[in-house]
Structure 1
Amino acid sequence: MEVYQLLRRGEYHADFCEDFSVVQPMGSGRWLCAVMDGCTMGRESHFASTLAAKIIRKVVKERQYQQFHEDISATSVQQELVEIMAALFGEFQQARNYLLLDTNELLTTLVMALLDQNTGEVYGLAVGDATVAINERITRFEQDNQPDYLAYHLGQHFEEWLAQHKQSFHSTSCTNLGLATDGIDSFQSTDSSPSDTRAIAHYLLVDDELTERSEMLNIKLKRLENRYSLVPMDDLAVVRIRLV
């Protein structure tokens, strides 16, 4: 199995990268991966995406400890991902209350997937805008630049939120998984010529060139810049996993 990650501050953001990514082994051949994009209009938006990443890592570690005391190996991929999301939801509620955070301090998109490398099954949830590649197929989750952030629903019970949430994806035969924040659609040429953002998404999330290199995504980003003068205007986080 090959894992690649990319984090790049966009040209429009002078101070902070507001995106973040996570790849964590779950045990039993399962891997959790996620990308987050803090809302530029929020307050200190890099904090929200970083907080989500830290909480995800915490939840994963707690589940790993749990495996020593009880058998959770029979949990389906979908059920385990939902349980992780529920734990994240609860931790966000606690952080909001403990730190006295306003809603606009917790605004971040989130696309999170659980992949079983033994079976090729993957299940994921997308909260807000995101791009997902499963094998050759690329799916864009778009909310017209008005993401329905998780922070808007922290006054609800998790089950209520989950029942009305519609953005999910699933495959039982995944050999290539790619997750990206909406910065993947923000590439522009420094010489003002038009760019094909769909071709760029395919190049980063599907194309197999340079997959033998651990820095594949960073090399491709440099090629886009040096050969075609293409750079992301918005922050960009990418996670890609190949089962080989």
Structure 2
Amino acid sequence: MEVYQLIRKGEIHKDFCEDFLLSFELGENYSVYGVFDGCSTGVDSHMASALTAKVVKAEMECLPPEQETSLRAFMSSAIYNSMSTLRNIRNDLLLETSELLTTIVLVVIDKTSNTAEALVIGDGFLSINGQSINIEQDNAPDYLAYHLDELENIDDFEMWLTKHSNRYVIDKVLDVSIATDGIGSFKVADASIETNGLPVPSDFLAKNNFLLHNKSMLARKFNLLRTQHRLVNQDDLAMIRIIRT
């Protein structure tokens, strides 16, 4: 598989990129990819996305997928354990909930069967073998951090996860992308620019195969959107594209 990654600060954020990328191998048979979007109205949101990503990675590495009945069960257990760890970190560091607000988009791939499970908590974007999925929550995501104290047993957590997350089974991994909602924030830099004929940024980045096999494919496409088409992302963008070769 070829994996392409991109993370860029948006125009509306002057100091920090509040998104974060996660990409790692879990044993010999599994790959994990994630993008995290810290809340723009939260406090130190760049920390929230990075901290949550690192906690999720640590919990997944302590919980081999082979011990679970399915990828879905593995992801549920890992997120449930992450909530407990985040709760302890919050209490130890005297953090406010506003310092832990981040969306989560995760994909776990079973390399032996070429199948995957995707999980979205909050908003985000997926492209699964050419089909785009935008998860929107009217800019008011139901962040995991809101529920750290009320979901202390696994049954309550599973009920909440069923109701408040989006899950997808990927029967065959051919071309899969995940991204924060910044992928939908591109606007022309100058109102006088004619928009007819401009590429759709999400399609150009997640579906178009220009520069395939170039390890900098997403970065170069992003630069083309800005320089050639004058399309600029207003919000931060974190993106991972996985293509089976």
Q: Same fold (TM over 0.5)?
A: yes
Which residue of the partner structure matches residue 45 of structure 2? 45
Shift of 1:197: 9.6
CA contact (8 A) 1:190 1:230 kept: yes
Shift of 1:175: 1.1
Provide the C-alpha distance between the structure 2 equivalents of 1:79 and 1:195, rounded to a whole number of angstroms: 46
Matches within 5 A, 1:1-244: 1-63=1-63, 72=66, 75-157=69-151, 158-163=154-159, 164-192=163-191, 193=193, 194=195, 199-244=200-245
Provide the C-alpha distance between the structure 1 equivalents of 2:164 and 2:112, rounded to a whole number of angstroms: 28
**Matched residue SS, 1:167:** strand
Q: How many residues align?
A: 238
User: Any unmatched runs of 5+ in structure 2?
Assistant: none
The percent identity for this pair of structures is 35
**Matched residue SS, 1:21:** strand
Return the TM-score normalized by structure 2: 0.90
Provide the C-alpha distance between the structure 2 equivalents of 1:202 and 1:222, rounded to a whole number of angstroms: 15
CA contact (8 A) 1:188 1:195 kept: no
CA contact (8 A) 2:105 2:120 kept: yes
- Counterpart AA for 2:208: D
Shift of 1:15: 0.3
CA contact (8 A) 1:153 1:161 kept: no
Task: Give deviations 1:169-201, integer Å, cap 9, x for gaps.
Answer: 112112111100010011011112458998211
**Matched residue SS, 2:66:** coil
Q: Give the CA RMSD over aligned residues.
A: 2.0
Shift of 1:150: 0.4
In 2 relative to 1, CA 189–195 (structure 1 residues): closer, same or farther, beyond 3 Å? farther
Shift of 1:87: 2.0
Provide the C-alpha distance between the structure 1 equivalents of 2:84 and 2:102, rounded to a whole number of angstroms: 16
Q: 133-142 or 28-37: which moved more? A: 28-37
In 2 relative to 1, CA 196–98 (structure 1 residues): closer, same or farther, beyond 3 Å? farther
Q: 13-22 or 75-84: which moved more? A: 75-84
Q: 185-194 or 156-165: which moved more? A: 156-165
Deviating above 6 A after TM superposition, structure 1's stretches of 4 or more consecutive aligned residues are 195-198
- Counterpart AA for 1:228: H
Provide the C-alpha distance between the structure 2 equivalents of 1:12 and 1:124, rounded to a whole number of angstroms: 29
CA contact (8 A) 2:121 2:165 kept: no
In 2 relative to 1, CA 162–218 (structure 1 residues): closer, same or farther, beyond 3 Å? same
- Counterpart AA for 2:221: K
Shift of 1:133: 0.8
Shift of 1:73: 5.9
User: Any unmatched runs of 5+ in structure 1?
Assistant: none
**Matched residue SS, 2:238:** strand
